[in-house]
Amino acid sequence: MDKLLITGGRVLSGDVRISGAKNAALPLLVAPLLVDAEVIIGNVPRLQDVSTILKVLGHMGVSVTIRDNGSVSIDASTMTNAEAPYELVRTMRASILVLGPLLARHGEAVVSLPGGCAIGSRPVDQHLKGLEAMGAEIRVENGYVHAKVNGRLKGARLVFDMVTVGGTENILMAATLAEGTTIIENAAREPEIINLAEMLQAMGAQIEGAGTDTIVVHGVQALHGCRHDVIPDRIETGSYLCAGAVTGGRVKTLAADPHQLDVVLLKLQEAGAHINTGPDWIELDMRGQRPKAVSFRTAPHPGFPTDMQAQFMAVNALATGTGTISETIFENRFMHVPELNRMGADIHVDGHTAFVTGVNSLQGAPVMATDLRASMSLVIAALAANGDTLIDRLYHVDRGYERLEEKLTGLGANVRRVSSRDYP
């Protein structure tokens, strides 16, 4: 099992190109299940989660071609079965997204319930209740969801009990081929939802309101193939900007979308960063200054993203002053706190709130990643720490950050992947 060895203390400076968004790519890669034609998806990041979802499609007999230019061709006309087995989906919760398209296009699906999530409960009951309201018969047996519908799904008015990105995506895809009109209320508003809706529209779907809390879908008889690109990864963008902030450096993210990150950029400015933006780039310049502590509360989009909480905690750990961070989305998303404290951070947790008092310096130490974003918080802290930090369970970071070592090295960091044989 690989580990990441980081020798900290270098000021990051330079340009870094942002990859396609993992959280946008996954629903885009399963949406072709809605058509019996080729769909080409561009700007697809090469990540572990992407590889897993493509294996799920391959298991179903779907034709998948990965091209050198970063695009993926998917043709579901070759599909032979509608089952997503546990051995493939156990590592990622997004695999449940195949349920809606399979039901809508093929009338049945057998999908394993995803495995447990380290950052807390993310139940799929909202997905299932929505599909049942559209006429699906669903039973859960032996860890599998067995879903079936006679004829077409029926349009319905759905009100989610809570804002759910995955649930919104699943119902949105299913509704495109349903009979009649589906109204999704309390819908997620993330940029990834808009990206999916735009692709479905390019396939012939009739969708209104994507990006608002009410989405209206007028079902059509059939969809067709298209070509569509994955949007830039706003979380990767924010992560590299935080790395620049904590080291007092200057980082310019290329192929990025500033409009996706309004609240994050405001918090970075509050931390003392000088921010400049263009149509497809964001530049952060700390001018050698130490960041100031910031306080925030995570919330569904357009609030502060929970996926940026851990990275900002790493910045606060070395900032001047004390910042208060309240996590409202997931009940167990402070698992990076003990690891940051091992490096000398001063962080205290009370329930769903963390109090972070900045220290003058952190010290390199052996630490362990516990989830995707927690792993990036340790990387950010290590970049600014004195000495060497060895980050274990690197597979977490590989789920969401493409070519991490290469990109950080390009910014001047001392980072390398090492084998557990050499660093037990």
Q: Catalytic positions, please?
A: 117
Residue with tokens 């516990």: 370
Phi and psi at 337, nearest 5°, equal -60, -50
User: Is the CB of residue 311 less than 8 Å from the CB of residue 242?
Assistant: yes
The Cα–Cα gap between 255 and 261 comes to: 13
Helical (H) or strand (E) element with 391 = strand 388-392
Strand 281-285 and strand 63-66: pairing?
unpaired
* Amino acid symbol at 91: T
The Cα–Cα gap between 155 and 229 comes to: 28
Beta bridge partners, 197, equal: none
- DSSP, collapsed to helix, strand or coil, labels residue 280 as coil
Beta bridge partners, 390, equal: 5, 366
From the number of C-beta atoms within 10 Å of its C-beta (0-12, 13-18, 19+), residue 286 rates as buried
User: Is the CB of residue 292 less than 8 Å from the CB of residue 270?
Assistant: yes
Phi-psi region of 35 (alpha: psi -120 to 50; beta: other; left: phi over 0): beta
Q: What angle do CA 168, 67, 225 make, to 5 degrees?
A: 50
User: Is the CB of residue 355 less than 8 Å from the CB of residue 322?
Assistant: yes
Q: What angle do CA 296, 300, 303 make, to 5 degrees?
A: 40
